[in-house]
Amino acid sequence: MMHGVIAYVMYWAIHMATNNDYLSNFLAAATVTLSAGIISRLSGRQALGNSLSGLYVLVPGAYLIKSLFGAQNTGWIETMAMNCVVIGLGAWTGTLLCSPTILGTTSGLLQKSSAKRHMHKRGRMTF
């Protein structure tokens, strides 16, 4: 749910500031996948569910709703295709920004730190 809220807030804020659907879709998709990737790196869990829940928020506006019921309903297939490409590129960009090269492996940084802390406690115990 958090990633859906992130997608909506990012889309709304950028759309209000710039009135550009393509830019707001791109940055909202990039933000969702970047935040899902960072949470995945920290927890060690897959980012697919978080990414999809955030990207589903962008889909209704991107596809037929705005194109068919808007003031200009000519060229809705081109608008739909362009929005799909922009959301896809935004999602891909966000995923690249949280790659293992930049943020480390997917084995879970939080789990590693708690395991190290546990090992230190065991080492101090005396019998």
pLDDT, averaged per 10 consecutive residues of the chain (127 residues), comes to 82 90 90 87 77 79 62 71 88 84 59 56 52
Q: Are 84 and 26 contacting, i.e. CB atoms less than 8 angstroms apart?
A: no
At 18 the pLDDT is 92
At 19 the pLDDT is 87
Q: How far apart are CA 32 and CA 5, in angstroms?
A: 9
At 26 the pLDDT is 93
At 70 the pLDDT is 64
Q: How far apart are CA 9 and CA 26, in angstroms?
A: 13
Q: Is the pTM of this model over 0.85?
A: no
